[in-house]
Amino acid sequence: MFNPDRDYTIEMAEQAIERIKALALPADPAGFELWYTYVSGCNEQLNRRVNRIIDEKGALSAAEQDALYDEFVSSARKSAAIENAGAKVSAEIDCIVEMLSDLIITTSLGRDDCVDASSQLASSPDRQTVRAISDALIRSLRTIELRQAALEQRLIASKQEIETVNEALARVSIEANMDPVTNLANRRGFGTALKRAAEQANQQGRPLALLMLDIDHFKSFNDRFGHLMGDSVLRLISITLKQSVKGQDTVARYGGEEFAVILPETDGSGAMALAERIRMRIMERDLKKRSSGESLGAITVSIGVATFRPGEQARSMVERADASLYEAKHAGRNCSRCAP
């Protein structure tokens, strides 16, 4: 049976995959979602940015793909979640204000009832009148008490709802700064962490170092064993990095097969020593297929190191570490180089 929606989505998916193949980019979920958004034409800003990069460079790197995803796709989802959370909080506040207004009116009426009762008691001292006035006054105060109890319960429910919304917003914030494959900080999270670390290093006059790592011949590995095994390698690298650093350090997936490690309180010699330990640990890993036990060979990385220069921008530090990484690549890979 003809299904226009199904046919359309399949066509868009095929076009997205063709784009990924043509540009030799990773076909991970984030990349697929980015190119699906692109070919569907639902985000004009994204399409203009992609077209400009390809027109200028003739290609698009995996790091640029990740950055575009963070800026145009992930951020859009985050904005939608924040907007939805804001609407929920606004609705709760409106409800509370309405109940408070109702309570104020009821309390005002109760106060008027008390004034009337006082006047009547002053002019009608007989027991029957006093009893009737007292009963009416009790009913009025009971109404106020019930409304206050209802408001208290509603306030408790609203507090719980707002706490739930805050938790959801916290999750959105974490997800927006986390790489879904490795559970490391993504490029956005890395940028935020490095900027903060650079500011602290500059203010306190403390050392700061940065490692940029790239998996050697990763595209060939993906072509040979497939992207699922490639993702397994990315996770293995991420685990090795996290096991190699201290609690104050930040490990991030910078993009594609590239990783970054922010090292506060670490000078150049300490950073180079750590880079070599990481490189050796990764190289010594024996990779095998779980299903067959087949050896996948050794995985190696090239590492660039840079140390913070007082007063410089975080971006400059990244550029120097990246230049050192490419120097390591040109030196034959599976080695570490440090920026002067």
For the chain, where are the E strands, in sequence order?
Answer: 208-215, 250-255, 258-264, 287-288, 295-297, 301-307, 336-338
- Domain range list for the chain: 4-60, 77-176, 187-338
Looking at per-residue pLDDT, the higher value among 74 and 274 belongs to 274
> How far, in Å, CA of 232 to CA of 238, rounded?
10
Beta bridge partners of 253: 259
| Sign of the Cα pseudo-torsion (185, 188, 189, 195, in order) | positive
Query: Which of the residue ranges 40-44, 137-141, 303-307 would you say has the lowest mean pLDDT?
Result: 137-141
Residue-by-residue DSSP string for 126-138: SHHHHHHHHHHHH
Highest mean pLDDT of the ranges 56-70, 82-96, 103-117, 242-256 = 242-256
Give residue 1's pLDDT band: very low, low, confident or very high (50, 70, 90): very low
Computed over every residue of the chain, the mean pLDDT equals 79
Q: How many other C-beta atoms are found inside a 10 Å radius of the C-beta of residue 307?
A: 23
The model's confidence at residue 242, banded by pLDDT at 50, 70 and 90, is: very high
**Could you confirm whether domain 187-338 is CATH 3.30.70.270?**
yes
Residue 258, beta-bridge partner list: 214, 255
User: Quick one: pLDDT at residue 202?
Assistant: 92
Tokens of 319: 């550029």
pLDDT at residue 4 is higher than 50: no
The mean pLDDT value for 123-148 works out to 64
Residue 336 has pLDDT above 60, yes or no: yes
pLDDT value at 96 more than 50:
yes
What is the Cα–Cα distance from 296 to 225, expressed in whole angstroms?
8
Report pLDDT for 108. 56
More confident position, 228 or 268: 268
**Taking residues 222-239, what's their average pLDDT?**
86
At residue 263, the pLDDT reads 97
Structure tokens at 119: 């006047």
What is the rounded average pLDDT of the residues 36-41? 83
What is the tens place of the pLDDT at every residue in 267-280?
999 999 999 999 99
SS3 177: coil
Cα pseudo-dihedral 25, 232, 315, 306, rounded to 10: -130
- Catalytic residue at 257? yes
What's the pLDDT at 2? 38
Range among 8-17, 68-77, 171-180 with highest mean pLDDT value:
8-17
Enter the pTM of the model.
0.57
- Give the per-residue pLDDT at 107: 59
Q: Which of 18, 98, 199, 257 is catalytic?
A: 257
pLDDT over 70, % of the chain: 68
> Any idea which of 47-61, 124-138, 248-262 has the lowest mean pLDDT?
124-138
**What's the mean pLDDT in 240-259?**
91
- The answer on pLDDT for 110 being more than 70 is no
Q: In b/e form, how buried is each residue of 70-89, taking b as 16+ CB within 10 angstroms?
A: bebbbeeebeebeeebeeee
**Percent of the chain's residues with pLDDT above 90:** 29
Question: What's the CA gap between 273 and 25, in Å, rounded?
Answer: 33
